[in-house]
Amino acid sequence: MDDQESVDANLDVFAQAKLAGIEAAGLRRTLALTDRFDGIEVLRNGRYLISFCCNDYLSLTHHPEVKRAAQDAIGRYGTGAGASRLVTGNHWPLHVLEAKLARRKGTEAALVFATGYLANIGTIPALAGPPDLIVMDALVHSCIHAGARLSGAQVEIFPHNDVDACRAVLDAMRAPHEHCLIVTETVFSMDGDRAPIPPLADLARDYDAWLMTDDAHGLGLVPPDSPADVPIQMGTLSKAAASSGGYVCASQAVVDLLINRARSFIYSTGLSPSAAAAASAALDVMAHEPERGQKALAHARYFAERLGLATPESAIVPVIVGDPEQALAASRRLEDQGFLVTAIRPPTVPLGTARLRVTFTAAHTDAMVSALADAIEAL
Ligand SMILES: *Cc1c(COP(=O)(O)O)cnc(C)c1O
C-alpha cells in the first residue's frame, strides 16, 4: 500500500511538473463543458454563444433527416457494432455508407474506419514501410505525422504548398527508395487554404510516387479530386458529414490491402450503426443541397473581405494574432460579446502563429457574420 502510494505520488509529481512547464509557456489546455442544442448556438459557462468554431460546415448535425437516420439505425441494429469489422462489426449501414463514399469520390471502393485519426495512422503504414519514402507538406495534420512515423519509412517535409521544394526533395531523395508516398491535405485545417493538387499529381507521376490527400475540411465544400490524380483519398465523417468515422476512397486493390494490413482498422471496433447511418444521410443531403456548402463559403468570403484578408478557399478563415496569450485574450473578449471563436495555439499551429480560427457554416445568418466582423474589427 505504501509502495503504491509513493508510486502514485511520483506520477502526480511528474504530471504536475510537466503541466507547470506547459502553463509557463502559456499553452495549457483545459476542457470546457459545451452543449450544442442546434448547429449554431452552444451553451458554455451558463451562456449561449454563437459558435464560429465548429467543423459542422453544412450544419447537418441537427438536420432532422440525419438525426432520424441515426435513430432508425439504433432501433434496428442497436447502439454498438459489437466487434471489429472482420469479426461481426461489418453491418449494413457501413456497407451502404462505403458505397456512397466511393460514388461521391469516383473511386472503385471505400473503407470506413472508426475515426479519421485511425484512418491515417492505419493507412500510411499499410502503404509505406522502412524501404520507402514519405514526402509531406509541413502543415499536414498531427495524425498524418503519427502515421508516417509509425510506418518506419524515411519522412521528408516540404514547406507548405511549395511544389518546387517538393520536387527538390524528390530529386534528392527518391532514387534509393522502393516506393514513395506524397501526402497533403485538400484544405488545410488551420489555414483554410488548398493544396496545389494538379502540380503535385504531375510530380507524383514524374517521380513514380503515390499521392494521398486528407479531405477532412474539403468534403461538401470543394469538388473531389480525380482518382487518376489522387489514388488515395482519405477523409473524415466528423466534420461536414456530421457524424464520426474516417474513410479512405481508393481502388478495390488498395481497399482490400487496407482490410488486411491497416492495424487501426483490423484491431478497432467498427463504427456504430447510428454513426454510419447519420453520415450516410448527411452525404445524401450534401448531394441534394449543394447550396449549403455555397452558403458557408459565401460567409467566409464576406468576412474576409470585411477584415481585408485574402479571399478564402474554404469555410475556414484564420485571423493570425501571433502571441498565444493575445490570441486567448481576443477569444475571451469575443466570448464576452457572445461569440465562440477558439484560439488555436502551438503545437497545433507553428510557433508565433497563434490565431483565431474562424469557421463558417450553412446555418450562420448574414447578420451573425456581420456582427462577428464588427467585433473582431473592434478588438
Ligand atoms: C479532424 C481531422 C482529422 C481527424 O479526423 P477525426 O475523424 O476527427 O479523427 C484528420 N485529418 C485532418 C486534416 C483533420 O482536420
Confidence of residue 8 (pLDDT cuts 50, 70, 90): confident
Name residue 356's beta-bridge partners. 319, 343
Measured CA to CA in angstroms, residue 198 lies from 44, 229, 237, 291, 354 at distances of 43, 7, 25, 26, 30
Q: Is the CB of residue 181 less than 8 Å from the CB of residue 124?
A: yes
- Nearest protein CA to atom 14 of ligand 1, as residue: 216
Confidence of residue 347 (pLDDT cuts 50, 70, 90): confident
DSSP letters along 65-121, please? HHHHHHHHHHHHH-SS--SBTTTT---HHHHHHHHHHHHHHT-SEEEEESSHHHHHH
Candidate list 56, 137, 156, 185, residue with the active-site label:
185
Is position 41 annotated as part of the catalytic site? no
pLDDT at 293 over 90: yes
Is position 141 annotated as part of the catalytic site? yes
Q: What are phi and psi of 67, to 5 degrees?
A: -65, -40
Confidence of residue 211 (pLDDT cuts 50, 70, 90): very high
How confident is the model at residue 197, as a pLDDT?
Answer: 98
Contact residues of ligand 1, CB 6 A cut-off:
115-117, 141, 143, 185, 189, 214, 216-217, 236, 238, 246
Candidate list 91, 141, 177, 364, residue with the active-site label:
141
Amino acid identity, residue 184?
T
Mutate to test the pocket of ligand 1, among 113, 238, 244 (most ligand atoms within 8 A of CB): 238
At 189-206, the pLDDT tens digits run 999 999 999 999 999 999
Running DSSP on this structure, what letter comes out for residue 38?
S
Q: Is the CB of residue 303 less than 8 Å from the CB of residue 319?
A: no
How far apart, in whole angstroms, are the C-alpha atoms of residue 44 and residue 33? 6
How confident is the model at residue 291, as a pLDDT?
Answer: 97
User: How far does the centroid of ligand 1 lie from the alpha carbon of residue 123, in Å?
Assistant: 14
Neighbour tally for 117: CB within 10 Å: 19
User: How far does the centroid of ligand 1 lie from the alpha carbon of residue 291, in Å?
Assistant: 24
- Nearest protein CA to atom 2 of ligand 1, as residue: 216
Candidate list 239, 295, 299, 364, residue with the active-site label:
239
pLDDT at 316 over 80: yes
Q: Once rounded to an integer, what is the mean pLDDT over residues 335-343?
A: 96
How far apart, in whole angstroms, are the C-alpha atoms of residue 85 and residue 315? 34
- Nearest protein CA to atom 5 of ligand 1, as residue: 116
At 129-178, the pLDDT tens digits run 999 999 999 999 999 999 999 999 999 999 999 999 999 999 999 999 99
Running DSSP on this structure, what letter comes out for residue 134?
E
pLDDT at 359 over 90: yes
At 46-68, the pLDDT tens digits run 999 999 999 999 999 999 999 99
How confident is the model at residue 25, as a pLDDT?
Answer: 86
At 79-88, the pLDDT tens digits run 999 999 999 9
**Atom of ligand 1 lying closest to residue 236 CA:** 7
Q: Once rounded to an integer, what is the mean pLDDT over residues 256-266?
A: 98
Name residue 41's beta-bridge partners. 50
Confidence of residue 2 (pLDDT cuts 50, 70, 90): low
Q: Once rounded to an integer, what is the mean pLDDT over residues 358-365?
A: 98
Is position 239 annotated as part of the catalytic site? yes
Per the document, the length of the chain is: 379
Q: What does the mean pLDDT of the chain come to?
A: 96
Q: Which three three-digit cell numbers place residue 88?
A: 461481426
How confident is the model at residue 113, as a pLDDT?
Answer: 98
Q: What is the CA radius of gyration of the chain?
A: 22
pLDDT at 3 over 70: no
